[in-house]
């Protein structure tokens, strides 16, 4: 039985190169360095938080750059870092943790603008109240999407027309994503593999 989980971050008003540079900077501050995935031996027994992978797609016709994150638990923290590094961008994060409901957060002006629905907010030092439909609709309209009647993560996903939201990261990396993706791999600078390379 497969436990479905995913974390997607959608970015508007920033180029692919700006998004990638912001991600590299955020990962570097967290002790990771870009690493060529081909240099990781097949079957390598990676330790916890030793390897972090992303897939980058886009920009699409609307200018959206998409990141798919392998580490679902850290997705909102990574989004906070990206938002701070890209203050002119709009970001939407959709996260489906294992055996939990879909979660969504919206970012603008360098930080969290709205939490949509329930989330434990582990990445924050405070607990924001969930946004209401008018605030979520105003954000989505600034994005170029239709307003929503309810403030729920599912409504945000529908407004974005998220494709293949149920696809696990490994399947997306193996070519199952509906658009071409570029893999981005980061290795902990404390990793034996990194230290020996």
Beta-carbon count within 10 A of 146 CB? 14
Closest CA to 97 of 123, 79, 71, 77: 71
Cα-trace Rg, the chain = 16
pTM beyond cutoff 0.95: no
**What value, to the nearest 5°, has the Cα angle with vertex 159 and ends 70 and 94?**
20
Structure tokens, 13: 């008003």
Beta-carbon count within 10 A of 133 CB? 15
Beta-carbon count within 10 A of 33 CB? 15
Burial class (CB in 10 A: 0-12, 13-18, 19+), 164: middle
pLDDT in tens, the chain (197 residues): 445 578 899 999 999 999 999 999 999 999 999 999 889 888 888 888 899 999 999 888 889 999 999 888 899 999 999 999 999 999 999 998 888 889 999 999 999 999 998 888 989 998 999 999 999 999 999 999 999 999 999 999 989 887 545 566 777 777 777 778 899 999 999 988 888 87
Structure tokens, 92: 């939407």
């Amino acid at each position: 039985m497969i436990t479905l989980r995913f974390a997607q971050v959608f970015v508007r008003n920033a180029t692919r190169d700006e998004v990638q540079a912001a991600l590299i900077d955020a990962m570097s501050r967290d002790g990771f360095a870009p690493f060529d995935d081909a240099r990781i031996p097949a079957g390598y027994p990676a330790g916890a938080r030793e390897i972090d992978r992303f897939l980058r797609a886009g920009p699409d016709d609307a200018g959206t750059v998409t990141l798919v994150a392998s580490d679902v638990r850290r997705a909102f923290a990574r989004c906070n870092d990206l938002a701070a590094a890209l203050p002119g961008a709009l970001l939407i994060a959709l996260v489906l943790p294992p055996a939990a409901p879909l979660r969504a957060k919206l970012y603008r002006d360098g930080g969290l603008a709205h939490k949509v629905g329930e989330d434990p907010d582990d990445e924050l030092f405070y607990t924001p109240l969930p946004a209401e439909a008018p605030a979520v609709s105003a954000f989505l309209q600034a994005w170029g999407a239709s307003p929503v009647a309810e403030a729920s993560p599912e409504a945000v996903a529908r407004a974005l027309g998220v494709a293949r939201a149920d696809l696990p990261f490994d399947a997306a990396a193996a070519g199952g994503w509906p658009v071409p993706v570029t893999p981005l791999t980061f290795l902990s600078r404390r990793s034996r593999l990194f230290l020996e390379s």
